[in-house]
Amino acid sequence: MPTLPSQFAGVTVLTKANVYFDGKVVSHTVLLPGEVKKTLGLIYPGSYHFGTDAPERMEIVAGACRVTLDGSTAAKDYAAGTSFDVPGKNGFTIEVKTGLCEYICSFLK
């Protein structure tokens, strides 16, 4: 698996946060050259369900989580340095047991 980036250069960051679940999931949008969009975020302990419009790749930067993709009964654990993909027009439940889970979400074309 490729190494996760520690920084992004030459980007635009939207200052207004994306706040979900009463502040338990918070991210900021990062726009890269070539119409590439990512979000960088934090997930506090709890269980949260998200729907997707476009396909997404979630890369775990720090912490850990457990993910169940819609249509599946199998949950899978993800630690720092791992990632999972979610199809477009789908969804997933992400659970953080302790601490913070930090992530990069890439919107795939």
- Annotated domain spans of the chain: 12-107
Percent of the chain whose pLDDT exceeds 90: 94
How wide is the angle at C-alpha 17 spanned by C-alphas 96 and 15, nearest 5°? 140
The amino acid sitting at 50 is: F
pLDDT at position 109: 81
pLDDT at position 91: 97
pLDDT at 2 over 80: no
pLDDT at position 12: 96
1 confidence band (pLDDT: 50, 70, 90): low
pLDDT in tens, 40-92: 999 999 999 999 999 999 999 999 999 999 999 999 999 999 999 999 999 99
Looking at CATH, the fold of the domain delimited by 12-107 is given as Jelly Rolls (2.60.120)
Tokens matching residue 42: 């934090």
pLDDT in tens, 85-96: 999 999 999 999
